[in-house]
Amino acid sequence: MSQTPSLLPGERRILRLDEVEAKSGFKRAHIYSLMRKGQFPQALRLGVRAVGWDSSEIDRWIGERIRSRA
């Protein structure tokens, strides 16, 4: 796994699957299952065989999970 550079608050970038797995704690199959159900941010098509996720959407999704716990 590559090292992820630290982001400044509010800074956006495209996250690849390994980074999304690390941030969410879910594996590929579960991420795609949640996406199909509309319960996880949709991937962005980057190329023919490449997808990524908007870092701000992933951070917002994680924040919502934390807030809903309270």
pLDDT reading at 59 higher than 80: yes
Q: Which pLDDT score is estimated for 7?
A: 62
For 9-33, the pLDDT digits (tens) are 678 999 999 999 999 999 999 999 9
pTM for the whole thing? 0.83
Cβ of 53: how many Cβ atoms within 10 Å?
24
Written as one string, the DSSP assignment of 9-58 is TT---EEPHHHHHHHH---HHHHHHHHHTT-SPPPEE-SSS-EEEEHHHH
Average pLDDT for the chain: 91
